[in-house]
Amino acid sequence: MHTDAELLAAWAAGDTLSGSRLFDRHYSSVYRFFANKLPGPSEIEDLVQQTFMACIESRARYRGDASFRTFLFGIARNILLRYLRDARKHSVDVASTSLADCGLGVTSVLHLRREQQLLLTALRHIPIDSQVVLEMSYWEQMPAREIGEALNESEAAIRGRLRKAKLELRGAVEGLARTRSELDSTLDGLEQWAEGVRAFWDAR
């Protein structure tokens, strides 16, 4: 099986089949990255396509010393920030602004359990940077080192951000939960609910 680096190089040389294979290999991960951040499937698909096109345009920056996945997620984050800037007509402070603050709708998740819906809504009520690192951890099971490589930050910095983001998420869940039992069920089973959400995205 060809490595990601080999497929990228072949794609850059004009081999569209290699490009298709690379796309198929990483499509689900990139889709999940955008799934809880955009209004609907068409916007998600558009930004997924933009991410892969930017990947080939930025291929010279990929040296192979980190995983291709981290390279791809770094690009996806930049694409997201550009989308938010264009949507709001000005730059967005992602360290303090949430997607809920931006007033963007999201893809329907009515078929999910209430706890899963609450998790997704709470994620959109914490700062965008916190949402990004938590979803990379929950959806992709990426360790802090890989998240740091994707976001060009140290592993220690990401560990600190993850701790802060989890506290922010807990606060958001507490503010959104309808009942105490719903709150406890959501917080006690976060990883389980996140796994179910990942399966939901993959089935779409």
Under-70 pLDDT residues of the chain: 105-110
The per-residue pLDDT for 22 is 94
* Inter-residue contact 99 to 145 (CB < 8 Å): no
* Inter-residue contact 151 to 78 (CB < 8 Å): no
The per-residue pLDDT for 108 is 62
* Inter-residue contact 51 to 79 (CB < 8 Å): yes
The per-residue pLDDT for 105 is 67
The number of C-alpha atoms within 13 Å of 77 and in the hemisphere containing its C-beta is: 20
DSSP helix/strand/coil, 6 = helix
* Terminal Cα-to-Cα distance of the chain (whole angstroms): 27
DSSP helix/strand/coil, 127 = strand
The strand pairing partners of 98, in sequence order, are 127
The per-residue pLDDT for 60 is 78
Task: 92-100: list long-range contacts, CB under 8 Å, 24+ apart.
Answer: 92/128, 94/127, 94/128, 94/129, 94/132, 95/127, 95/129, 96/127, 97/127, 97/128, 98/124, 98/125, 98/126, 98/127, 98/128, 98/131, 99/37, 99/124, 99/125, 99/128, 99/131, 100/124, 100/125
* pTM, to two decimals: 0.91
The per-residue pLDDT for 28 is 95
**Number of CB atoms found within 10 A of residue 9's CB:** 16
